[in-house]
Chains A and B, each alone.
Chain A
Amino acid sequence: MNIRKLIAEQIVILDGALGTEAQKRGLPAGVCPERWLVDHPRLQREIHAEYCKAGAHAVYTPTFGANRVKLGHWGEKKASRINAQLAAASRKAVPKGVAVAGDIGPTGDFVEPFGELGFEEAVRIFKEQVRGLADAGVDLCVIETMMDIQEARAALLAVKEETDLFTLVTMTFEQDGRTLNGTDPVSALVTLQSLGADAVGCNCSTGPEDMVKIIARMKPYATVPLVAKPNAGMPVIKKGEAVFGMTPQDFARSGKALVKKGVNLIGGCCGTTPAHIRALRGALVRRKPVAPVREAVNAVSSARRTVEFRPERITIIGECINPTGKKSLQSALKKGDFSPVRELARAQAEAGADLLDVNAGMPGIDQRRVLLRIIDLLSVGFSQPLSIDSHNKEVVEGALRKYPGRALLNSVSAEPNALKELLPVAARYGAMIIGLPIGEKGIPSTSRQRQTNARKILRAAKKYGMTKKDILFDGLAMAVSSDPKSGQETLDFLEWCRHEFAGLSVIGLSNISFGLPMRRWLNASFLALAKARGLTAAIANPAHAEIRHVRAAVDLFSSGDMGKFLEIGLAAQGLETEQGSSEETAEQKVYRAVLQGDRDGIVSRIREALKQGAVPLDLVDRFMTPAMNEVGARFEKKEYFLPQLIVSAETMKHGFEFLKPKLRTERAAGQVKTVVILATVKGDIHDIGKNIVALMLQNHGFSVVDLGKDVSTGRILKEIARHDEPVVGLSALMTTTMVNMGEVIERAEKEKVSCRFVLGGAVVTREYARSLGAEYARDGVEAVKVVRRLSGKKA
């Protein structure tokens, strides 16, 4: 049977649930289903026969769990053999004209970098299974119910490297539209279709209604047919029993909606029966399929995001993860310390990089190993797709194979060797590439020569099945300091690339300003010029505000997306207005530093104020404390959230500590500070809340003795005895430890020590505190008020 032809002509009907049908026919719980079916071939025959009778064009072999990992749980060893046996039985059971699809399900373990299972080990595990299926002569392979994109990739590579079979990959999406591991439908599609999947889609998890949305998101990016195998709705409770809710008629009706959105192959997953498939076939047999809408997609993906290179925007490829010329990064990488990489990535991601370029080219390290580590780290921690920056074939191959998305390869030149070595690798793993129009004779100085080389790259790439949309052509921005005309040549090339050649383009932006002053402004201006001439993407550092702001402006003018611009623009403006007005006095600046939590700036503000004659005590009483009170008020109105409260409190503390030596001389001799003893009671280890309270109290001039957490009653009493009528603050998180508060208070009464208690913590209530004759405070702000009251405003 020619599956491609069938898909082109009609909606292809797949079968429905097999496991539950087998259960109905006697498959017991607690046995290895695959083994049991091998021993009961009649069952498999019957189920397949029913689905064929219902009108399925293809049935899945019952090999969902027949991989080494899952079979191993049952003590089964021979994965290939079990697959061959079950697939052969399927083959025998179905009439001619019905296809047998070799079914491959997840191992249950997650694959590197998202899990512990090694990537190549996963590929090997799936290859065992594929061999068995192929030996028995299946017509196609199905990889299904995947939630880990990397596991899906491993399985797909296994099929592609073992066979030439048509391969369908379906992933399982949650109601929020992502897989359990966070992959969205478009990224799954872009990744899998570029890696060679012949059809992509979704199965299980949700009912058909939710799948309509998933298919609708996928279709505009699909170069391959789409698949849906939904459950029979979600289980619902009826008369106290849980049942799958959807009747065959409802199911068929939703099937129509799916086909309308562009599904080409459709069947059923959990809860569906031959009756559902029959209804589906009846409803869809005459529907015209919607062919894939795209021939190629100019987009790259990570496990969690797709970035499409669009003409109306500048796509920024963050350039910083590159040890060249960065001494500290080099020595960190040599030591195996990858934290600077994470830091660089974070800064660029925060500044709006769409992709992150990664380069590990430096002497003295195993480039391949280091680059793979970086890729793992960034794939887990960041959603930006990666640009793999290397010309070494082994490094590139290792990186593209392992990267859990569709990468950009930076770069392939027009030199024959580069074309021959790198293009097949890029094509095999479906990467996009940056085409460098550099030929054998080095970097051409004119746009015209560069055009010739660009054409050459495209011709070579097409031989490996790539298209113009898979390539970003590099405009070769060179230092204008050494050749003032080079900027013009680059701009001419970009113009040609966009308008005559209809290709996508990129430049390495910062080269242009090499050796000149005002580099950031030169870069940003060139970016604007290049965009005007048709540039698609730039390798640049978005952490530079000039680049970021010019990009935002250019994007606004060419895309008209005001919302996006305002987001960036207002944040930038916010920074400016927060600087405050120029008429502010030095003391007011101190006030604002506390109010806004300027931890690093407070001391210099205070110095400035003192220089202008401010009195330390006055500064505290008339500016800092009122600022802190205003912070507290804002916190209570929920205009500030916890980090703002704390940062302001920390700012106050810094200022206080700086002023302390100066204050001592000023404070009136008779003024004694109230002592507040704080402790998290015995048995309780939670102390973040108590620590916040401590900081707040210190800031309001109380002398805080913090005994820490898990503090025994005896220890607390001993401390109380050392002070004159202290206030004692006790904290507890759990009811089981809260009782120890009672113990402390009782013993204090018994021993007749003089003090006042205030209680707090998650489980403590006002009533509970009152029942012990103590005060209560909800949070740090209230704690200050209560302690003030208790101490008679002594502080």
Chain B
Amino acid sequence: MTCAGEKRFERIPNTVSREQIYRRLGQTKNTVLTAEITHKTGQYLDQALGIIRLRGVYRRLKITEKDAQSVRLAQGGEIRSHSLAVFLEQCEEVLLMAATAGNQIVECIQEATRTGDLSRAAVYDAAASESVDTALDWLTNYFRYELQRENKQLTRLRFSPGYGDLELSVQRMMYELLPLSEFGIRLTEKDMLQPEKSVTAVAGIREIL
């Protein structure tokens, strides 16, 4: 069952760029690459991109109450964070979202590590990290179209639990409000998502006049 205002994506196109992944791996303008390392890294990267499966979901929820320290949502969620409250000042709804690169890539990273192929593991790891981040970009961009038709707008920025005063424990609330278990995601005791190549975020919805 999907809830009202919720949309799931079973196959988010992976629009991550190679440059992004190379940058995550520490490439700068000083970096001198040999043909061989370029070839190897490229090969690992291609493999990783074939294994990574990006899935995601978002859900719109009305803001029922807010003050300087916290924001209450329909369905009973509450987020305590001063900076988020300020960020959502003009908004009447929020968009909760999550994305994952899937379990298979995480298993492949572990397998490569186990067999002593750490360079492969590191490239897979960076590819998965960057990919899942771009999946959130993609989700928000997709949602913008839906909103435009209603003459509404999504805030340009989004906030993730674990940054600033938005505590990691907010992931627990997100986990309850989004159907993440259906993507095979678990929440650990310490409020971390597993498989670890997963992300959550919140953005605000406001009207265009």
Contacts and interface: CB of A to CB of B under 8 A. Distances in A.
Contacts of B119: 643, 646-647, 650
Interface residues of A, number: 66
A688 B109 contact: yes
A646 B118 contact: yes
B184 interface: no
A747 to B, nearest CB: 19
Given A114-B13, A116-B10, A596-B36, A641 B27 contact: yes
B15 A182 contact: yes
A243 B208 contact: yes
A528 to B, nearest CB: 24
A669 interface: no
Interface in B118-141: 118-119, 121-123, 125-126, 138, 141
Interface string A144-155: 010100000000
Given A350-B42, A686-B196, A734-B192, A642 B145 contact: no
B34 A574 contact: yes
B116 interface: yes
B65 to A, nearest CB: 20
A481 B163 CA distance: 70
Given A638-B31, A646-B122, A691-B118, A235 B153 contact: yes
Contact of A110 (B11, B40, B90, B126): B11
A181 interface: yes
Nearest to A572: B35
B73 interface: no
Contacts of B41: 643
Interface string A612-652: 00000000000000000000000101111111101101100
Interface residues of B, number: 62
A201 to B, nearest CB: 17
Contacts of A575: 35-36
B76 interface: no
Which of A650, A734, A736 has the most chain B CB within a 10 Å cutoff? A736
Given A242-B153, A575-B35, A691-B113, A684 B208 contact: no
Contacts, number: 151
B49 interface: yes
A20 B150 CA distance: 7
Contact of B209 (A241, A642, A695): A241
Given A688-B113, A736-B168, A180 B118 contact: no
B151 interface: yes
Contacts of B189: 683
A691 B121 contact: yes
A641 B22 contact: yes
Given A205-B145, A639-B30, A734-B162, A650 B10 contact: no
Which of A116, A270, A571, A688 has the most chain B CB within a 10 Å cutoff? A688
A688 B190 CA distance: 19
B207 interface: yes
Nearest to B7: A108
A240 interface: yes
Nearest to A115: B11
A172 B145 contact: yes
Contact of A647 (B37, B50, B149, B196): B37
Given A242-B208, A571-B35, A688-B125, 7 more contacts: A115-B11, A242-B153, A242-B207, A381-B49, A597-B36, A641-B31, A643-B41
Which 8 pairs between the two chains have the least Cβ-Cβ distance? A641-B26, A683-B190, A646-B119, A641-B27, A642-B25, A638-B28, A242-B208, A574-B35
19 contacts: A29-B150, A110-B11, A114-B13, A147-B145, A172-B145, A204-B145, A242-B206, A270-B149, A270-B151, A574-B34, A578-B35, A598-B36, A641-B26, A641-B27, A649-B118, A683-B189, A685-B192, A688-B113, A736-B190
Interface of B: 7, 10-11, 13, 15, 22, 25-28, 30-44, 46, 49-50, 90, 109, 113, 116-119, 121-123, 125-126, 138, 141-142, 145, 148-151, 153, 162, 168, 188-192, 194, 196, 206-209
Interface of A: 19-20, 23, 29, 64, 108, 110, 114-116, 145, 147, 172, 174, 180-182, 204-205, 231, 235, 240-244, 270-271, 342, 346, 350, 381, 571, 574-575, 578, 596-598, 635, 637-644, 646-647, 649-650, 653, 683-688, 691-692, 695, 734-737
